[in-house]
A and B are shown apart, each in its own frame.
Chain A
Amino acid sequence: MITRQEGRVRSSEFAIDVRGLNKYFGDKHVVDDLSLQVRPGEIFGFLGPNGSGKTTSIRLMCGLLTPDSGGGTCLGYDIITESDAIKRNVGYMTQRFSFWEDLSIRENLDFIARVYQMPDRKTAVENSLTNLGLKERANQLAGTLSGGWKQRLALAACMLHRPALLLLDEPTAGVDPAARRDFWEELHRLAAQGVSVLVSTHYMDEAERCHKLAYISHGALLAQGAAQEIVAAQGLFTWAIKGEIADENLARLSAMLAGKPGVLQTAAFGNALHVTGRDPVMLEKTLRETIADLPYEMVRTETGLEEVFIHLMRTSAEARKVKR
């Protein structure tokens, strides 16, 4: 059972509360007026395509980067002036494995325990090794571990000092499904104990496991809320076209539908094609006409997060093109 030291974390309505964050790298606007709030005990998913500013946003929140404008608090501490306090109470897992490859697992954990000045360091390290199933590999050098084990080590290390907030930057990239499931179970266990989690990911199944989501593209927040809320807010309708469809026919069908009235986008799911649009009547009409002579059937399905995100990504890209 994890117990937190009293008085370490300031009581505050939000674990993360940042408003109007801006960050430029040269003339590149990497984070664009970002505001988001994460409640204590919440698992907050951070989504967006590569290079959308997720990592930069996370670094801004834990004081590793200084915003050009805007500000806010993390665990009640100011992200600009109190980054020392934030560092003591936040567990940050970098996107790239950033532990010392020439130290063993135990040595890495021991180092982290020392720099966080943990009382009863040895027990903490041993417990952490046991909890994460790293015990028998404790003396192996971190550099010789496979991706999944490295990720376990990184997670163990960033949770070692029992932070009240975890900032996890694509923690499951390159990790096998079983390990990912274990990882998410662990996250939910922690959340139940009151730990807040901000986690960035590319996986839709992971997004659906989050209490709340934020979708960011080109540094700007495009949607925020629970998964169902985000889906509902976009007002999209989706049909699945099924049947004995070979891959080349799927592609041909997709090309046929592109640009037709009511069709916003198509996406292949196995041997079905999901067609999404905003106007349900027009979409259905177009689809019926298109497959009238073909041996396919069409079924109304739920619009998934994936369709919504692809849609968000496209519309934001088009909007940016228009702006230029």
Chain B
Amino acid sequence: MSRRPFFFSVARFWGIVRKEFLQLKRDRVTLAVTIGIPVMLLILFGYAINMDPKNLKTMMIDADRSEFSRSFIMAMHNTGYFKFVGELNNEEEGEEALARGDTQFVVNIPSDFSRQLVRGERPAVLIIADATDPAAASNAIGAVTRLAESVGWKDFGGPLTTLHGSALPFEVLVHRRYNPEGITQYNIVPGLMGVILMMTMVMITGLAMVRERERGTMENLLATPVRPLEVMTGKIVPYIFIGMIQASIILLAAILLFSVPFVGGIVELYVILLVYIAAALTVGITISSLSMNQLQSVQLTFFFFLPNVLLSGFMFPFYGMPYWAQVIAHGLPMTYFNRLVRGIMLKGNSWPDLWTDLWPLMAFTVILMGVALKFYRRTLD
């Protein structure tokens, strides 16, 4: 209850900053975790999340049993995407195998394939794909479509050169249940930066205030003349440094380990990182002001974290989401960060392009800081 709630003393603010730095320095575990987590997660996800999987289980229905069908299947095998694990008698069996998950692809070569081919009737090869995970299937499907071209001319030359025309000798029909936006690894690694920063930053500051409360030091802090804004900003500053170190580690790994191209400006990237880290830390401080104990704080952190990961466009294509989900996602900082970081690293965007997604991030931070200040309890009531 003060008549000047926004009065700010730099000396007191600096007192808090120093205290937080000292405490952070002593808290070796947290420090190790904050530095260790990005490296661990990046290596784990960077290598584990493979959006271009190979050796996918495939079964075939070869009703034609001709030189041509065998040649086509061999060519499919040679792309590296398909691993033939069995042969089926009819399409029904194929559907069952797919439903059971015994196979991811069923290649169906019709009985009159070679006859039609020779007649130049452009027969169709049907590939049924289990596209529950659309990303897993899309590259393989892409490969087989290209295959039709190359295999066609190589293997069906000679006596069939007359077929050499403008069109392909045969057609590949792909049936899939989704039409996913292709996600490449270049997309994943910059996105991971947003995920890792969000998780560690929100969680650490989420505990910052609540820890004072649980340890009983809040009473002492409240009895001193420090003001809410000084406490909050003072607690955020040390973690901005930690966040910057984290981001730099991830960036180095992205370039050195995963060869992610970096076509944009480094200054732009760091400015955006600074804004994003501040936004994440503000979220943490707000959570900390709202929660009564560390458990609540961790719960709230996850409540905030999950929609960010799932809706921001990191995990699933943003424009594949229904409109209402996009509206929600526009209230989440990671959405903007994903666009910004991909814009800088992959597209080489500069300030005019970046501004559209940068100002909402700044507005988010300022508004949330206001919320946190409003909920900061100045008494023990």
Interface residues of A in 52-87 (CB under 8 A from B): 59, 62-66, 80-81, 83-84, 87
- Contact pattern, A 107-130, Cβ under 8 Å of B = 1, otherwise 0: 100111011110000000000000
Q: From known contacts A63-B379, A65-B380, infer whether A115 and B225 are also in contact, taking CB-CB under 8 Å.
A: yes
18 A-B pairs in the complex with CB atoms less than 8 angstroms apart = A62-B223, A63-B1, A65-B381, A81-B1, A83-B379, A87-B223, A88-B225, A98-B217, A100-B217, A107-B19, A111-B15, A111-B18, A114-B11, A114-B12, A114-B15, A115-B224, A117-B9, A117-B225
Task: Indicate if A101 sits at the interface (CB-CB under 8 A).
Answer: yes
Q: Nearest Cβ in chain B — how far from A99, in angstroms?
A: 6
Task: Point out the residues of chain B lying under 8 angstroms from A44, CB to CB.
Answer: none
- Contact pattern, A 288-315, Cβ under 8 Å of B = 1, otherwise 0: 0000000000000000000000000000
Interface residues of B in 1-36 (CB under 8 A from A): 1-3, 9, 11-12, 14-16, 18-19, 22-23, 26-27
How far is A141 from B27 in the complex, measured between Cα atoms in Å?
Answer: 13
Task: Indicate if A94 sits at the interface (CB-CB under 8 A).
Answer: yes
Q: From known contacts A64-B380, A81-B1, infer whether A98 and B220 are also in contact, taking CB-CB under 8 Å.
A: yes
Interface residues of B in 281-318 (CB under 8 A from A): none
Q: Nearest Cβ in chain B — how far from A26, in angstroms?
A: 12
Task: Indicate if A92 sits at the interface (CB-CB under 8 A).
Answer: yes
Main secondary structure of the interface of A (DSSP, over half): loop
Task: Indicate if A137 sits at the interface (CB-CB under 8 A).
Answer: no
State which of A80, A88, A102, A141 has its C-beta within 8 Å of the C-beta of B1: A80
A115:B223 contact, CB within 8 angstroms? no
| Known pairs A87-B223, A110-B18 / 10 extra A-B pairs, C-beta < 8 Å | A59-B380, A62-B223, A66-B379, A83-B378, A98-B217, A100-B23, A102-B23, A103-B26, A115-B15, A141-B26
State which of B12, B19, B27, B379 has its C-beta within 8 Å of the C-beta of A117: B12
Task: Point out the residues of chain B lying under 8 angstroms from A100, CB to CB.
Answer: 19, 23, 217
- Contact pattern, B 327-349, Cβ under 8 Å of A = 1, otherwise 0: 00000000000000000000000
B12:A115 contact, CB within 8 angstroms? yes
Task: Point out the residues of chain B lying under 8 angstroms from A101, CB to CB.
Answer: 215
**Nearest 8 pairs of A and B residues by beta carbon:** A114-B15, A98-B220, A92-B223, A102-B26, A115-B224, A115-B15, A98-B216, A88-B225
Task: Point out the residues of chain A lying under 8 angstroms from B14, CB to CB.
Answer: 114
Contact-residue size bin, chain B (C-beta under 8 Å from the other chain): 20 to 34
Main secondary structure of the interface of B (DSSP, over half): helix
Q: Which residue of B lies closest to A169 (CB)?
A: B219
Q: Which residue of A lies closest to B215 (CB)?
A: A101
Q: Which residue of B lies closest to A94 (CB)?
A: B219
Q: Nearest Cβ in chain A — how far from B231, in angstroms?
A: 10
B215:A107 contact, CB within 8 angstroms? no
Task: Indicate if B226 sits at the interface (CB-CB under 8 A).
Answer: yes
- From A84, A87, A101, A115, residue with most partner B Cβ within 10 Å: A115
Task: Indicate if A97 sits at the interface (CB-CB under 8 A).
Answer: yes
Q: Which residue of B lies closest to A83 (CB)?
A: B1
Task: Point out the residues of chain A lying under 8 angstroms from B19, CB to CB.
Answer: 100, 103, 107, 111
Task: Point out the residues of chain B lying under 8 angstroms from A83, CB to CB.
Answer: 1-2, 378-379
How far is A99 from B225 in the complex, measured between Cα atoms in Å?
Answer: 15
Task: Point out the residues of chain B lying under 8 angstroms from A88, CB to CB.
Answer: 225
State which of A66, A102, A103, A111 has its C-beta within 8 Å of the C-beta of B381: A66
Q: Nearest Cβ in chain A — how far from B82, in angstroms?
A: 58
Q: From known contacts A59-B380, A103-B22, A115-B16, infer whether A64 and B219 are also in contact, taking CB-CB under 8 Å.
A: yes
How far is A141 from B22 in the complex, measured between Cα atoms in Å?
Answer: 11
Q: From known contacts A66-B381, A111-B18, infer whether A87 and B220 are also in contact, taking CB-CB under 8 Å.
A: no
Task: Point out the residues of chain A lying under 8 angstroms from B225, CB to CB.
Answer: 84, 87-88, 115-117
B22:A116 contact, CB within 8 angstroms? no
Task: Point out the residues of chain B lying under 8 angstroms from A99, CB to CB.
Answer: 217, 220
Task: Point out the residues of chain A lying under 8 angstroms from B22, CB to CB.
Answer: 102-103, 107
